[in-house]
Structure 1
Amino acid sequence: MPVQAAPSLRLGPGAPAPSAVTGPAQAAPAPAPLTLTGVQNATFGTPRSSSDGNTTRVVFDLPAGVTYTLAPTFGGLRLDVAGARVLPAVTARLGPSVTEYRAGGGQVTLVTPFPLSLSDGWRASEATILGGTRVLILEFGATLAGGAGPTVKGTVLSGPPATSAAAQAALNTPLAQAQAAAQATRADDANDAPTTHGTAPGLPPGDSVVVAPVLPPAPALPGADADKPSALVGRVPGALQPGASLGAPRVGKNPGLTRMVLDLPPGSSYRIVPGGVGLRVEITGANSGAIAQTAQNVSPEVRSWRYEPTSAGLNVIFVTGTPTTPRSGWRAQLLAPSSGDRSRLAIDFSPALADLTPLSAREKVIAAVPPMSMTRGTAILALSASFVRPRVIIDPGHGGVDPGAVGSIVEKQVTLDVGLRVAGLLRAAGVDAVMTRDSDRELSRDKNTDLNMRAAMGTPGTQMYVSIHVNAMPAASVLRGYGVETWWNPNHPLSAALAQTLQQEVIAETGAFNQGLRNNRSLAVLRNSRIPAALIEIGYTSHPVDGLNLRDNNYLDRVALGIATGIRTALMTGVSASGVPLGGGVGGAGK
């Protein structure tokens, strides 16, 4: 076999310097001796790493007698090691394609920001360097292919084996080191990352938290078309195979998302029925065979699955931890076979999955809003009245020196983007949309002054005040925050009704998880406004799935349309400072 070139490596703490590769790997010597307590003297860990562009290389020394298995998963690569003690360690980042390294309890996990398959996203080889040291060379990259090469002596599994209690304890080690390193890395990259963390006075909890990107983003379905909605019905190409059985679902786990894969035989068909807390997949042309009929506690997103035989085939019942609707909480795609003749019905489950299908040009409009009658004095004659466009304030949160929450996106950029879209929709419908800022700037470098200046724009003569923000959670609890919520303050009798209207319309348009309404008397932009006011949090930048929503143009289109529609609905029904419904109905509550 040809001699391999020596890899360019960055030495880890205490790691010996590598030498040039001399040739193919040699046969493994006898196992290392055991101590009297039965614990082997050999150790495994302290990898050396280097990066070339987006490709990250990780090299492990293989002690004499050590054996290992490799298991590519949707969240990275797992190594189970025998014949050596795995050194416990937690490292935040080895390179652009290895975002986290965890070791202990007999196993090593290398977390990647993209899913791995048996042949895609990684490759592995073994070599022997000068001095006789055997090494395992792992390379990771979104465009890499190859998987385990012919020199690899370890076993490659199609899925990870069960995790021992000792390994689970090691994997649950606190991420303090990882968070600090990741936060420092992002601070170097961000143009305007703040120097302090925590919640600024007058802002919702988590609003100004800078979140370390500890968790990798949820993987995309391979080969999926993001511009098409999940198909509720489908048929597998090919001739029907009478008596074909369906194996147990394959499971892929990623932070905040679980993927279930059904391998469907040719000629079979399916129908997906979401609703309540779960999903039913009705399959014809296949039966459950003799496999186990159920599994419990699959993941936080999938509580259980079970097979129910039917006269035409079987139903697969997935019970989820949160509600599903036809547009949210799940997504599915029928994918071509990766091998053999069975197509793959891949179904992702996450409460943060929303509707990302594009809006047509016809849908990106709201109906016209009629002008308001502004009566002079107490006269009620038509000649004494003038008609003006209703005015609303759109407040894109943060800006300039204040970036807001930083995670998958920078809050000040997304709030301005959405605010401009909302203003454009409203102006086209006949509304005078006034923005507190229309560029990346702050109103004042002093935070309290900035908030007061924004709130001061909500004065009589203006019908309502809508502030747009992005939410975030601390790094230790990022999976707990997702979805849309709207805040209000008892500054005005109609603020709660305005918040309710905005929340309903945005949820209806996006399918995002409904976190409901929040009431907080301390929010300065709401408390100091003299007209109906609400603050809407359009998603969580800290969540690995919801954060991707905030980077999706289709999602932002839907958020903007939902906010604009909510404002129009409020104006038409009298949920405004005047209390006069422009649609001719009865005035709003509190009048």
Structure 2
Amino acid sequence: MRPKDVTPRPAAWTTRAALFSLLSCGLPGAWAAPSSSSPPVPVARAAPTPQDVTPGTARGAGVTFGQPRASSDSGKTRVVFDLGRGVTYGLTPTAGGLRVDVVGARVLPQTRVGLGPGVTGYRASGQQVLLVTPFPLSLSDGWRASEATLAGGGRVLLLDFGPTLVGGAGAGLRARVRPAPPSGGLPPGTPQNDRVTLAASSRPSSPATAPIPLPAGLPPSDVVSATSQVTPPAPPPPLPGQEGGQPSALTGQARGARRVGAALAPPRLGQNPGLTRVVLDLPPGTRYRLVPGRVGLRVELTGVSAPALSAQNVTPEVRAWRYEPAGEGVSVTLATAAPLTERGGWRAQLVPPLDGSDHSRLAIDLSPALADLTPLPARERVLAAVPATPVSPGTAILALSTSLAKPRVVIDPGHGGRDPGGVGAVVEKEVALDVARRVRDLLRAAGVEVVLTRETDRELAPDKAADLNRRAALGTPGTQLFLSIHVNALPTASALRGYGVETWWNRNHPLSGRLAALIQQNVTGVTGAFSRGLKNDRSLAVLRGSRIPAALIEIGYTSHPVDGLNLRDGHYLDRMAVGIARGIREALVTGITAGGAVGGAGK
């Protein structure tokens, strides 16, 4: 096509197209719509430094900063800001996210939730923007920053966030990066038994990282590291009077008679790696109601008073706390890094007063890795029967009659024998086998034939590639579904970044993605565990070699000080097994199987 045959595009169209290209580069996804449903959270103003001001520009004269656009892909999130003429900024990575101090523009106040998996919150006020991340940032880890010039001449700031990203600010922006200030200690006077401590001797040691020699050509995702035993993390000290396995009450009342005009003191906080404890001293007779939600925990107190108070960037788990007078009491907001549910992300206990005090203590633990460790009622440990499937040529299995047979599934407990898998709070091969046996028993009681790839602590072959191939080979026609069970792990230096449950699938079968979604949905619903979502951006040998719907679930992180404790808890493992079994049952009765629909009965 000759140049004269090309119809000129308007400049605005060119600018929009270029911006869309930048936003979508490697991160396909929809634009994030602004939300105005929540008022902005006050953020401390940062005084601009002289070098931040561009000479000859009017500071903030008609220029604004904010209203970011975002897109996400494979657990990473890109955030794009327009940079007006004369706008400069400073970047401060912290344990709770990235702070942007803006000079030369008016920051548009706004609070948003969930720009993507890498950015769980956005707060803008004063001359500061905070992009909240569910993992800590360092000067070089967890984020990248760069600038770009659009075809129309506009300038944009590109910020990428992801737990595995490395790089930090690009070469041209490093002068704008400021180290985060050191975090302070506990408020003076915090009672010793309110503190959350971890003895130095009980911290996990660094596992060895030398890989086991493997045949050439084995995908990196299937490499197994030879990890040495490490000391499991010690649990936070139990709260006085706390009973293990008891659910957190959503309502309650401090002991004693209510006093008119009783005042609420500011909260006291203690920290453990990966967990923050908030303690509210409740005067006698104070009633409380706990409301977990997407932006944190709201504590509604009745029978107490307090002035409006707040604090920002408190700990990695508590982004901010705020007191607001409300009717006959006080509303306390604890803004968290990750959404809370009734089952996960928090625990609370009303603790009796200390000697010499009449104030009960409402102790609240906050961590995105906290899950439901309460016992399952007996009725929830039973699955409804799975109907038999018609026998067809090439179909499995234990025949119930000449025309019907039990559906058959393969459960693969990962690793085994000389291959321990991840080692931290638990040993991966041991927990994977434990959960697999629990799933087997639940499904067999519901009328499903279950085959375990290993019933004991052993390998299927001395060669790792052959071992994986033998596991995958059991997922052949005649079997309905294949599920591999694993435990995640990260190096000690980045251990706090990894927690929660994720389910993998490959494009080995058109229904594998739907199977993975059912497993993930049921497991997180029963356990309250943090959902890391579905993953399919790596080819896993144990999945790609299967010819039936197949998935792999990572049931938690042995390297995380809180998630590791979940994996050591029998009630949690019970819940995990029930969630997996429910997901498999739902797949069988809705036709997400190698043989098509089994039937709708008992769904």
Which bin holds the TM-score, normalised by the shorter protein? 0.5 to 0.7
| Aligned residue in 2 for 1:297 | 313
Could you say which residue in structure 2 is the equivalent of 1:334?
350
Q: CA deviation at 1:243?
A: 0.7
For the 8 Å contact 2:195–2:270, the answer to whether it is kept is no
Equivalent residues of 1:286, 1:313 under 8 A apart: yes
Aligned-residue offset at 1:582: 2.3
Aligned counterparts, 1:80-479, within 5 A: 118=192, 182-183=205-206, 196=211, 201-202=218-219, 204=221, 208=225, 210=227, 217-288=235-306, 293-339=309-355, 340-375=357-392, 386-479=403-496
Q: One-letter code of the match for 2:244?
A: A
- Structure 1: distance between partners of 2:304 and 2:466: 66
Alignment-derived partner of residue 77 in structure 1: none
Deviation at 1:311, TM superposition (A): 1.7
CA distance in 1, matches of 2:213, 2:254: 51
Supply the RMSD in Å over aligned alpha carbons. 3.4
| Alpha-carbon distance between aligned partners in 2 of 1:543 and 1:521, rounded to the nearest angstrom | 23
Deviation track 1:477-502 (CA, whole Å, cap 9, x = no partner) reads 10110000000010111111111110
> Offset at 1:583?
1.5
CA contact (8 A) 2:202 2:234 kept: no
Q: 1:560 to 1:121 in 2, by over 3 A?
A: same
Measured at CA, do residues 432 and 261 of structure 1 come closer, stay the same or move farther in structure 2, by a change above 3 Å? same
CA contact (8 A) 1:207 1:472 kept: no
Q: Is the 8 A contact 1:121 1:141 kept in 2?
A: no
Which of 522, 547, 568 is matched with 2:564 structurally?
547
In the superposition, relative to structure 1, how do residues 207 and 549 fare at CA in structure 2: closer, same or farther (>3 Å)? farther
Q: Distance in 2 between matches of 1:322 and 1:543?
A: 16
1:417-472 deviations in whole A, cap 9, x for unaligned?
00000000000000000000111111112111111111111111000100000001
Does the CA contact (< 8 Å) of 1:213 and 1:407 recur in 2?
yes
Task: Supply the AA of the counterpart residue of 2:340.
Answer: T
**Unaligned residue ranges in structure 1 (runs of 5+):** 1-106, 111-115, 123-139, 143-174, 188-193, 587-591
Unpaired runs of 5+ in structure 2? 1-181
Cα distance in 2 between the residues matched to 1:222 and 1:297: 28
Using the aligned pairs only, state the percent identity. Answer: 60
Greater C-alpha radius of gyration? 1
Q: Specify the SS of the correspondent of 2:264.
A: coil
Equivalent position amino acid for 1:322 in 2: A
C-alpha distance after superposition, 1:134-191 (max 9, x if no partner) = xxxxxx999xxxxxxxxxxxxxxxxxxxxxxxxxxxxxxxx9x999x9348xx9xxxx
Q: TM-score, length-normalised on structure 2?
A: 0.63
Q: Using a 3 Å threshold, how does the CA distance of structure 1 residues 384 and 473 change in structure 2: closer, same or farther? A: closer
Kept in 1: contact 2:480–2:549 (CA 8 A): yes
Aligned residue in 2 for 1:167: none
Distance 1:367 1:442, change over 3 A: same
The reply to whether residue 492 of structure 1 matches residue 514 of structure 2 is: no
Q: CA separation in 2, counterparts of 1:569 and 1:407? A: 33
- Mapping for residues 72-87 of structure 1, pairs under 5 Å: none
Task: Name the CA shift for 1:251/1:585 in 2 (closer, same or farther; >3 Å).
Answer: closer
Are 1:538 and 2:561 an aligned pair? Answer: no
- The residue aligned with 1:40 is none
1:483 alignment counterpart: 500
Please tell me the residue identity of whatever aligns with 1:257: L
